[in-house]
Amino acid sequence: MKNVFCFFIILSFLLFNSCQQKKENIKVEKYQKGFKYEKDGWIFVHIEGEPFERGFQYGYLIAEEYIQTFKCYDEMMFQSLGIDMQFVIENANKLYGNKMPKEILEELKGIAQGITAKGYNTTLEDIIGWNAWMDITEGYWPKIKPDFAKYVFIPSQKRKEKCSAFIATGNATKDKKIVIAHSTFDDFWNVQNVNLILDIKPSKGKAFVMQATPGYVASLTDFFVSSAGIVGVETSFVGFNGFDETKLPAFIRQRIAMQYAENIDQFIELLNKENNAGNPASWLLGDINSNEIVKFEQGLIFSNIERKKDGYFFGCNIAFDPKIRNLECDGSGYNDIRRHTGGRKVRFETLLEKYFGKIDIQIAKAIMSDHYDVYQRKNFPGANTVCAHYDNDKRKYMSSSLAVHPEPFSPSGAVDCKISNSAYLKQMGFIARFGRPCGIVFNAEKFLKKQPQWNWQKKYLKDREHKSWTTFSSYKK
């Protein structure tokens, strides 16, 4: 008995020492009321206070990451689109410089000055352009692109298909409460920088946690949970055409909705106010107070809302609403299982029905890591699966040039996964993996040796390592 007691004493000491060691390995950088730490590929940043105050904390803490990401976007965007960040900055300030709500403007000023105080010169104009990157590159630029070659026909650039998501509640889940999951995917050079978890406690409005890119005041990936009990994700519409440069950009509307919405209806109202279609998408929203889930499909001219307290919704970059899909989008691949849109539509329905009544965190991991290709009828981690692996796909069955990444072996695909349930959400928390949802690694050097056509991305193409699932939640004092 004495030996057993000693064993447990020693075991307790070793476990305690191991936990302490893990804590010591996490370096925390503090600045005023804010702080930052890195864990399993993620950067967690907490900021609070008045708009300028929290903006300054934010800018100071993420200055290095912002500069690195800005340089990446500047060079890679020029190679991909023929325009650079200066083009984005000039046009964003021309369109939106005088439309900034005072609170957001003050926060943006704080970010710029915080970055500069850390030793990296930047301006308010730079930060406005940076936050409006999606509106300019995916909305405004395709609209004016033909003006740059008046004597040559240039087809307009269509919106990309990116992100997979689902939300379930009621009889669909194991505990009859909300389960939600979201995975970001796109060009690796683009979305390998969306590893920021920003925890904001503003002086006004609701506290909220969101995934973001260094320097952004909105998520734009999108994954968020607020102290109002609202959780949300979105998946963008492929082939969307509309854009109204006279209205408010997506980053302003999304940020206001996340910070000030008291319920889902108010979130939709704020998101729709002065909508410019800078980020046309299917929003999956949940309210942990009422256990209700909502799908809000937002185009420019048309929109659609569906509600459930039993069942699920999923997002695979297509509009289910016929008006949005047929009148505001081209070539969505709604019925084409050779496409990442049509293929995931079928697979999500199959998986969510298969696990109906059993969906929990573990089942969500399995769904978001799924590699079954419904066209080939076999497990194959490729472009058309829920867990997207474009870098592993010959695109042998590619059926449309409108599809995103039609080239074989494109260095793109899923780069993360966030999953939560009502128990986590009550703490404004979730589990996350920064890396493919399935955990399969991506080695940039080995990939480029096999696929040298992508060597122009070498400078900014990072490894996608196997990372652990990590728990995050809003900071509580």
C-alpha span between 320 and 304 (Å, rounded)? 9
Which residue is it, tokens 């936990």?
19
Q: How many helices (H) and strands (E) does the chain have?
A: 16, 20
| Model pLDDT, residue 152 | 53
Angle at 25 between CA 21 and CA 29, to 5 degrees: 135
Share of the chain above pLDDT 70, in %: 92
pLDDT, mean over the chain: 92
Which residue is it, tokens 């990401």?
69
The yes-or-no verdict on residue 6 having pLDDT over 50 is: no
Residue boundaries of the structural domains of the chain:
29-471
The yes-or-no verdict on residue 460 having pLDDT over 60 is: yes
Interacting residues of 208 by C-beta distance below 8 A, sequence separation 6+: 200, 224, 225, 226, 227, 258, 259, 428, 474
Mean pLDDT value of segment 66-82? 94
Amino acid found at 413: G
- The DSSP bridge partners found for residue 166 are 181, 314
Q: Do the Cβ atoms of 37 and 29 come closer than 8 Å?
A: yes
Distances, alpha carbon 305 to alpha carbons 285, 313, 363, in Å: 11, 12, 27
Which residue is it, tokens 């519409």?
237
pTM value?
0.92
Give 150-161 pLDDT, tens digit per residue. Answer: 655 555 556 666
Helix (H, G, I), strand (E, B) or coil at 332: coil
Which residue, among 161, 223, 211, 210, has the nearest Cα to 186 in the 3D structure?
A: 161
Mean pLDDT value of segment 155-175? 84
| Model pLDDT, residue 156 | 54
Band of residue 10 on the pLDDT scale cut at 50, 70, 90 = very low
The yes-or-no verdict on residue 18 having pLDDT over 50 is: no
CATH class of 29-471: alpha beta
| Model pLDDT, residue 457 | 96
The yes-or-no verdict on residue 426 having pLDDT over 60 is: yes
C-alpha span between 467 and 39 (Å, rounded)? 10
Amino acid found at 366: A
Mean pLDDT value of segment 29-58? 97
| Higher pLDDT among residues 305 and 143, named by residue | 305
| Model pLDDT, residue 11 | 40
| Model pLDDT, residue 476 | 87
C-alpha span between 415 and 466 (Å, rounded)? 11
Distances, alpha carbon 188 to alpha carbons 133, 333, 385, 449, 462, in Å: 17, 23, 17, 17, 8
Which residue, among 117, 97, 132, 119, has the nearest Cα to 55 in the 3D structure?
A: 117
Q: Do the Cβ atoms of 51 and 106 come closer than 8 Å?
A: yes
The yes-or-no verdict on residue 396 having pLDDT over 70 is: yes
The yes-or-no verdict on residue 21 having pLDDT over 70 is: no
